[in-house]
Structure 1
Amino acid sequence: MPSKCEILCEILIAVLLPPLGVCLSRGCCTLEFLICLVLTILGYIPGIIYALYVIVFQNREGETQDYAPLNSA
């Protein structure tokens, strides 16, 4: 799980350059990056909103929740 300082730095970068923030968070060859790039080209504010959504609200790839299976036996 990323630290709070890392997330804060990604948010600050996402406000300045939204595709770069998504690139640092998710990778440069992902669908999220391409969507953010297109939104930033079409309008700066939609790019920022989407970048913040990706960084803050979407689950990171490394995070998984392990639940113990329920055994009825």
Structure 2
Amino acid sequence: MATTAVNENKVLKIILAFLLPPLAVFMHSGLGTQFWLNLVLTIVGFWIIGIIHALIVVM
């Protein structure tokens, strides 16, 4: 039962990593360095880099 919930949570984070990368990183790491780095990468215009970074953090 617990592994199903973990898998569903991971799937949600992966989907969010494509749509809203900083939100996925926030859900995984909180308001730490990883979140701020991803937010800066996404805002500066490196949307693809923000997605890749979010996927690395979430996975």
TM-score w.r.t. the length of structure 2 is 0.85
CA distance in 1, matches of 2:41, 2:51: 9
Sequence identity of aligned pairs in percent?
A: 40
1:41 is matched with which residue? Answer: 43
Please say if 1:5 is aligned against 2:3: no
Please say if 1:23 is aligned against 2:26: yes
Structure 2, unmatched stretches of 5+, are: none
> Larger relative CO (CA 8 A, sep 6+): 1 or 2?
2
Structure 1, unmatched stretches of 5+, are: 57-73
Q: CA RMSD in A?
A: 1.4
Using the TM superposition, give the Cα deviation of residue 39 of structure 1 relative to its aligned residue in structure 2, in angstroms: 0.8
CA distance in 2, matches of 1:10, 1:33: 14
Larger Rg: 1 or 2?
A: 1
- What number of residue pairs does the alignment pair up? 55
